Structure 1
């Protein structure tokens, strides 16, 4: 699967591309420059957005191309410098690009902790791409949703997240990806998340697009965090019968509202068992895949 279209809503608001002359509106503003532009051009557009729309009216912001994202990290320092002009910002998407603009595994980032420190009122943060992505230990009291879409999520980022504190976080979505594209996080790196001690509000956990989906399923079978989840998502990954059996033989999942296993390598026998053994759960076992000469693959890589 390649990401071929832009989002149309974000943070509960319709997305509108910023153009010169725009007026304030209850929308999520999308800010993007041409692929051959530079950071100065992006800074100019950000300044125009703040001046013409009014930074004090902006609740949601979507950052598209910022100029050569395949070699330049997201210019979060520009947002940080403008933080006093964005007092109502509660939702931010960094790197909202299609594969034609930049392949997901080529999008560069850096340390996102300074951004979180600069915007203590931020409630939703979504990031696409993970080249160079990392998180220094940080505490954020209001973030409710965090998602990172990646073809390979670095273990360094996962460990930094695990060392941080997000007491209000209700939804966590990590696309772990494959080792070939930097996805070297292991179950051991994810252990603090699966324990859930530092995530008291977590109700929706998505560990998607994972090459290690079977290992994750085995760990989730006894993970303390599962007992208080409402939704569990292992979609887009390489889940096989081994992982399916681990989930079915592990701790009860009947309390879940939804279990998403779509894009999988589970046999029809095990797929049917989920429906039979979890009758009150909305189980998604759609998009069954066939192995490629015995190899299983995730949905999104490059």
Structure 2
């Protein structure tokens, strides 16, 4: 499979006050496959935005290199392959949504006869068709986020770099943007995005990279990184007697008993079977048994500790 984005030993060092140096990105090497949705995750200050600035040509690396579709980001041609949505997109607020996209389409050299048709399609695709004649100054943060996504799509790029694309959106808006990202992938585009909402990353991404303090901590396919074994089991039962509850205290990690209903959490399947046996012996009724497996948030916390 071809590589859409690649960083090679990427390092960025900033010089602060009194000559103090800060390493924002350290020897970062990752590959993003063409046509994939790639999640770039990490805490604030982990180096995500600096990496994006390198990929989009907004700043230069101290050492190392990065490529977009085989072209070095030092080459201006690489920018034509990118659709970029920053975390806080900025627009000329006196322009309408329609005028804003027309402006960006003309910057990209799109033929005038095609612009109006493309702008209408993009605004409809991000749910802003009814606001096409509205000045951007009257837009909410979520509406600006949608317009920013449309701006990134205006020239049909091969690669999308999206910094917190779901930020500021209501539940309906987030779902629509997720669907748009999936649609872009189906059309053959590569999507590289950051998000603090790890449930969205897990839902959308083929691969992820976790960075901390500018360094790569983990990289790979989500199914390969996450431990899919059962890590805990919730059991809801009715009719436990006093003697049974005392037994449950010894094997459970969490227990709540209220109005003859007992909620028990155990950390493996063997203990879950013990709870079930105790319930049967005292003549109680099993209401639910819910296993829990590691998700991306659990993985993130497990790998971020002490880093």
TM-score, normalising length: structure 2: 0.29
Higher strand residue share: 2
Question: Which structure has the bigger radius of gyration?
Answer: 2
Higher relative contact order (CA closer than 8 Å, sequence separation 6+): 2
Higher helix residue share: 2
